[in-house]
C-alpha cells in the first residue's frame, strides 16, 4: 500500500481572488477609509498569506502570489510616495509585461504555463490524455504544441500591456500637488477605480477572445496527437 499522499489540485479561482482581486479591491475601496499605508499592508497580507500557505502545502513558490505582491507593492508604493500620472501608466503596463515574461519563460520548462490553465486535473481527464499520448508515441510532439500555445499566451499579455499603457495615459493625469494629501488620495483612488472599470471592457474582452482562440488551438493539438475530443476529456 502506497503511503504517498496525492496533492489536491489547486483551486485556480481562489488563487486569482486572494492574489489579485481582493488586494486590488482593498487598494481601490478602503484607502480613503483606513489610509494608504494601512490599505497597502492589508492588501499585501492576502497574497503573502496565500503564498506562504501554498509554499507550506505544496513545497513550491506560488508564482501568482509573487506577482500579486509585486503588483500591490507597486500600486501602493507609488500612492504612498505621492507619485502619479505617467508612472502609474508605466506600472499598469509593467504588470502584464512581467506576467507575459513569466509565461514565456515557462514555455521552455517541463510544464508550460498553458498546461496549468487548461489541462487542470480537477476539470479534465489528464491521465487519459497522457495514456493516449503514450500509446500514440506523441508525447514530445504534444509538449512542443503546448510550448507554442504558451508562446501565443505570452503575446496576449504583451497586447494587454500596450492597451494598459495607452488607457492609463488617458486616465492617470497629474494631480495638483497643492491639494491636501487626503484630497490627492481620493482623486488617485478615483483614477484607479476608473482604470479598473474601463480595463474590464477595453482590455478584458479582447483578451478573452484571444484566450478562446488559444484554447481552440490547444484542443486542436489534443485531437491531433491523442485522438481525444474535448467531450472525451471533460469530467462530468
Q: Are residues 119 and 207 in the same domain?
A: yes
Q: Taking residues 208-231, report their average pLDDT.
A: 89
CA torsion angle for 148, 135, 130, 230 (degrees, to 10)? 70
Strands (E), 13-155: none
Handedness of CA 159, 164, 170, 173 (dihedral sign): negative
**Packing angle, helices 36-58 and 22-29, rounded to 10:** 170
Given a cut of 90, is residue 228 above it in pLDDT?
Answer: no
Q: Are residues 72 and 109 in the same domain?
A: no
Q: Are residues 163 and 76 in the same domain?
A: no
Q: Are residues 139 and 227 in the same domain?
A: yes
The β-bridge partners of 234 are 124
HSE-CB of 176 using CA atoms within 13 angstroms: 4
Residue 1 covered by a domain: no
Distance CA 107, CA 209 (A): 21
Residue 205 covered by a domain: yes
Q: Taking residues 125-149, report their average pLDDT.
A: 91
Distance CA 87, CA 79 (A): 10
DSSP secondary structure letters along 98-153: HHHHHHHHHTTSSS-HHHHHH--TTTB-HHHHHHHHHHHT-HHHHHHHHHHHHHHH
| pLDDT score recorded for residue 10 | 61
| pLDDT score recorded for residue 172 | 85
Given a cut of 70, is residue 41 above it in pLDDT?
Answer: yes
Q: Are residues 118 and 71 in the same domain?
A: no
- Looking at per-residue pLDDT, the higher value among 102 and 117 belongs to 102
The β-bridge partners of 124 are 234
Q: Taking residues 186-194, report their average pLDDT.
A: 77
Q: Are residues 69 and 91 in the same domain?
A: no
- Secondary structure of 186-209 in HEC code, one letter for each residue: HHHHHHHHHHHHHHHHHHHHHHHH
CB 124 within 8 A of CB 235: yes
Count the Cβ atoms, other than its own, within 10 Å of residue 236. Answer: 4
Q: Are residues 63 and 93 in the same domain?
A: no
Count the Cβ atoms, other than its own, within 10 Å of residue 118. Answer: 18
| pLDDT score recorded for residue 7 | 53
Q: Are residues 61 and 101 in the same domain?
A: no
Q: Are residues 152 and 220 in the same domain?
A: yes
Distance CA 52, CA 59 (A): 10
| pLDDT score recorded for residue 5 | 46
Domain end among 81, 111, 135: 81
- What is the number of domains present in the chain? 2
| pLDDT score recorded for residue 2 | 40
Maximum average pLDDT range among 82-91, 93-102, 219-228: 219-228
Position 11 confidence tier, pLDDT thresholds 50, 70, 90: low
Residue 156 covered by a domain: yes
Q: Which domain holds residue 76?
A: 8-81
Q: Are residues 55 and 77 in the same domain?
A: yes
Position 224 confidence tier, pLDDT thresholds 50, 70, 90: very high
Domain end among 54, 81, 108: 81
- Looking at per-residue pLDDT, the higher value among 221 and 189 belongs to 221
Q: Are residues 22 and 51 in the same domain?
A: yes
| pLDDT score recorded for residue 87 | 84
Position 73 confidence tier, pLDDT thresholds 50, 70, 90: confident
Given a cut of 70, is residue 4 above it in pLDDT?
Answer: no
Q: Are residues 113 and 138 in the same domain?
A: yes
Of the candidates 29, 19, 67, the one whose C-alpha atom is nearest the C-alpha of residue 189 is: 29
Q: Give the chain's length.
A: 236
- Looking at per-residue pLDDT, the higher value among 1 and 77 belongs to 77
Given a cut of 90, is residue 88 above it in pLDDT?
Answer: no
Distance CA 190, CA 196 (A): 10
Residue 3 covered by a domain: no
| pLDDT score recorded for residue 40 | 78
CB 43 within 8 A of CB 23: yes
| pLDDT score recorded for residue 1 | 37
Q: Taking residues 73-77, report their average pLDDT.
A: 73
Residue 192 covered by a domain: yes
Is the pTM value of this prediction over 0.75?
no
Give the model confidence (pLDDT) of 141-184 as tens digits: 999 999 999 999 999 888 888 988 999 898 888 888 788 777 77
Domain end among 81, 107, 125: 81
| CB neighbour class for 50 (10 Å; exposed up to 12, middle 13-18, buried from 19) | buried
Amino acid at each position: 500500500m502506497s503511503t504517498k499522499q496525492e496533492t489536491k489540485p489547486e483551486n485556480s479561482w481562489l488563487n486569482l481572488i486572494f492574489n489579485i482581486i481582493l488586494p486590488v479591491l482593498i487598494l481601490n475601496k478602503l484607502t480613503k477609509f483606513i489610509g494608504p499605508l494601512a490599505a497597502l499592508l492589508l492588501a499585501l497580507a492576502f497574497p503573502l498569506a496565500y503564498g506562504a500557505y501554498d509554499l507550506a502545502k505544496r513545497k513550491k513558490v506560488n508564482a501568482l502570489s509573487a506577482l500579486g505582491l509585486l503588483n500591490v507593492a507597486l500600486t501602493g508604493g507609488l500612492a504612498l510616495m505621492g507619485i502619479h500620472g505617467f508612472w502609474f501608466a508605466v506600472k499598469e503596463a509593467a504588470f502584464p509585461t512581467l506576467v507575459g515574461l513569466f509565461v514565456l519563460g515557462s514555455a521552455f520548462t517541463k510544464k508550460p504555463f498553458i498546461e496549468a490553465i487548461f489541462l487542470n486535473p480537477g476539470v479534465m481527464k489528464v491521465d487519459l490524455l497522457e495514456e493516449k499520448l503514450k500509446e500514440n508515441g506523441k508525447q514530445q510532439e504534444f509538449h512542443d504544441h503546448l510550448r507554442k500555445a504558451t508562446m501565443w499566451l505570452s503575446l496576449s499579455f504583451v497586447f494587454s500591456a500596450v492597451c494598459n499603457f495607452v488607457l492609463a495615459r488617458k486616465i492617470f493625469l497629474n494631480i495638483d500637488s497643492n491639494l491636501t494629501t487626503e484630497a490627492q488620495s481620493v482623486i488617485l483612488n478615483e483614477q484607479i477605480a476608473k482604470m479598473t472599470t474601463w480595463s474590464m471592457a477595453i482590455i478584458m474582452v479582447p483578451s478573452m477572445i484571444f484566450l478562446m482562440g488559444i484554447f481552440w488551438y490547444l484542443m486542436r493539438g489534443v485531437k491531433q496527437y491523442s485522438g481525444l475530443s474535448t467531450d472525451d476529456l471533460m469530467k462530468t
